[in-house]
Structures are given as structure tokens and as C-alpha cells.
Amino acid sequence: MSSTGFGSLAGKRVIDLTRVLGGPYCTQILADHGAEVIKVEPPRGDETRDWGPPFHEGDAAYFIGVNRNKRSIGLDLTTERGRDVLLKMLEGADILVENFKPGTMEKWGLGYQEVLADRFPGLIHCRISGFGSDGPLGGFPGYDAIIQAMAGWFSVNGEQGSAPTRLGLAMVDMGTGLYSTIAILMALAERQQSGLGQYLDMTLFDCAVSLMHPHIVNYNLSGRIPGPTGNAHPNISPYDTFRTGTVDIFIGAGNNGAFAKLCVELNRPDLIDDDRFVNNIDRVNNRDALKQELESTLRNMDGNELFPRLLNAGLASGPIYNTEQVVNHPHTRHRQMTVEQGWYRMTGTPIKMSRTPGKIDSLPPGYGQHSREILRQFDFSDTEIDSLIAAETVLEKRK
């Protein structure tokens, strides 16, 4: 059986009804650390299987990147027989994760309060949705970029004076996946005391608002609406990209001691006692002048030589890498953040545990690859399995 017998979540069973990114990212984290994750896909499959190029054997890299260590069963939950199969699978399950439009599970007679809480009292039901089921936006669909726009991310991203800009990562989805993982682990910890599961109401909107730090807290105390600052930090200076004679590098000096050390390393001790730059608030208020002073020196220096010297001096500094450079960097490989198994070359797990480390136990499944195996696990007879597949209630190939 896939994804069992190792890791901190060994013995925990997850029924994963999610698609696209936030939910699958959450369940992959659980799977990487030993949970048995059964990915239940609708007849058409997880649509990210088609989100390419690039592809491997018909599945897009987008899908492959967040679905390892799982088994897949195709199941039509719009049918009563399909829902009966799901209910059978929930017997003994610890966690149910789904990201259907709010109200869908209730329409199918699978609502948590109405059915699941009584039938499976230990079950942790995590719902991921755009806005939740109630409130002014309750029930509406939500996608990463739309939530970025509505949660203010566009307004603080980009260069000063530029048009509102989407963040280049799907961080609303992935951040919600991370928050959902935290919520599930909290519920598991609480269940050890109470013996009861609970319902987790996770939304892209809530998570995106929570991640708007420090812009929301700055606004709440100052009343000033934040705008884009490019690569500069709104609360710290110097904390920005700087031009050197060869490459752009990022330098961060978050306190007076670090700023003084930077000035010494750049042979500009005159800046330490300059009235414009004495404290961080002065440096923030005079950030343009400070950047001009620093770049007047940096443009005569080799950035490739400078940033390791600054690192060795205890200062935060680094070059601007592209994706290829990140993937192939010696430190990325040292930290096992690039992992390879045959054709599979993806991102490793960032969670490093001394006794119960995560691992890649199985590669991302083909659609319905384990449909028969999973049904047998839940005591369906071969006759029942053949009947379910013939009726296309359970599927082994995408429709």
C-alpha cells in the first residue's frame, strides 16, 4: 500500500477529493510524511492533468508537482452508488479534504453537520473554498489571481507607479494549502484529547488577507494606503536590489549594527553617522538618497565577488537567480530540494525531521490507476467492482 509505514503521519488515512493546487498541495504534504492519501478524482479527472506543456505520459508537470505519494481512484460522486462508495471509504478515515463549491457536499447528502459528524465522529473534514459559504461573497467561486486582486496583493506588487500586478507565484492557493495543513494537524492534536473530529472552514480569501503582512497592519496604524515599492521593503532600509558593476544583488540590513557593518564592508564609513541614515526610520524616509549613495560605490564593484564576502561578514546578501540556477544550485541539492527518481525530477520536502523524515514513496498516479486496488481494500467483491466499473461509477480511464 502506498504512503504508509513511514513518517510522522504513518497510519493516518486521508480521503482527498481536491483538485487543482491548494488542496492537492496540502494533501501532498501529508502524504510526504506518511499519511495514506487516496485521491478521488471525478470522471473527467483533476483538470491540472491537462495544464501543460510540459507533459509526461499525458500528465502535465503542474499536476505531477503536487500529487506524489497518492493513489488515484476515479469516482462519479454525482451518482448515489458513487456516494455509497465514498461513505464506505470514509469508514476508518481520519481526514477528508475537499474543495467543491460550498453546498455541493450538502446537496449530495454528505454535509458535515447533517451526516458526516454523526456517522464518523472522529473524522476531520477540511473544506477549502474561495470565500466560504456565507457572508457577502459566500458561495462564489475563487481563483488564485482573483483573490490576489481582491485581497490587495495586486496593489502592493510591482514598481512604484506601475499598474496593479499579479504575484508570479500562485501563493494564495499554496498559502491556503499550507494553512489547511496546519489546521488539520491542529485538529489531529486536539482529537487526541477529545476523541472527536471537527469541520475546518478554510478559504482562499481569509488566507490571502492573513498573508498581507505588513501592509494591512501598517495601514491599520497609519491610515495610509500602501502602494508598490518594487523590490524595496516598506519598513526596512536598505532592503532592496542594488546595481553593481557586474550583476544586480539583493542586500538587506535590518538594524543599525548591520547597516554599520555594511558601510564598513563597502568602505563607506561616512554613511554611518550621516544624519539622513542614523536609524532605520531615517533610512526608510531617505531610501532614495541612501540607494543612490550605495550604488555610487557598488557600481565600481564586482557583485559576484561581493555577495559572498558580505555573507561571510554576517550580512544578508544574494544574487538574483533564474529557475534553472535555483534548481541546479549546489545548496538546493545539498538540502534535497531537488529530488530525482528516474524521469521524476521535482521539488523536495522543506520539512526536515530528525526521527521521522518525509520521503518519496511513490510517484504521482495515473488517473484511476488504483481504482480496483482501493475497492478491494474496502472489501468490495470482484463482482461488485466489475459492476461499478461497467456502470462508470468507478473509472479507470478519464471520460
Whichever domain contains 96, its CATH number is: 3.40.50.10540
Same domain membership, residue 157 and residue 50: yes
Same domain membership, residue 144 and residue 88: yes
The beta strands (E) that lie in the chain are given as: 13-16, 36-41, 55-56, 59-60, 70-75, 95-98, 124-129, 199-203, 239-243, 248-252, 316-319, 338-341, 344-347, 394-395
Residue 154 confidence (pLDDT):
97
From the CB of residue 177, how many other CB atoms can be counted at a distance below 10 Å? 26
Sign of CA dihedral 322, 327, 329, 335: positive
Same domain membership, residue 97 and residue 30: yes
In Å, what is the CA distance from 163 to each residue of 146, 228, 232? 16, 9, 17
- Read off the pLDDT band of 4 (50, 70, 90): low
Same domain membership, residue 320 and residue 353: no
Whichever domain contains 317, its CATH number is: 3.30.1540.10
Q: Which of 275, 301, 327 is the last residue of a domain?
A: 327
What span, in angstroms and rounded, lies between the C-alpha atoms of 144 and 15? 24
Phi/psi at 43 (5° precision): -55, -35
From the CB of residue 3, how many other CB atoms can be counted at a distance below 10 Å? 28
Give the domain extent around 69.
13-211+335-395
Residue 294 confidence (pLDDT):
98
Per-residue DSSP letter, 360 = -
Q: Give the predicted TM-score (pTM) of the model.
A: 0.94
Instruction: Find the catalytic residue in 16, 59, 173, 240.
Output: 173
Read off the pLDDT of each residue in 252-270 and give the average, rounded to a whole number. 96
Phi/psi at 391 (5° precision): -80, -5
From the CB of residue 329, how many other CB atoms can be counted at a distance below 10 Å? 14
What span, in angstroms and rounded, lies between the C-alpha atoms of 146 and 28? 24
Same domain membership, residue 162 and residue 112: yes
Q: Give catalytic status of residue 144 as yes or no.
A: no
2 has pLDDT over 70: no
- 71-118 pLDDT tens trace: 999 999 999 999 999 999 999 999 999 999 999 999 999 999 999 999
Same domain membership, residue 137 and residue 190: yes
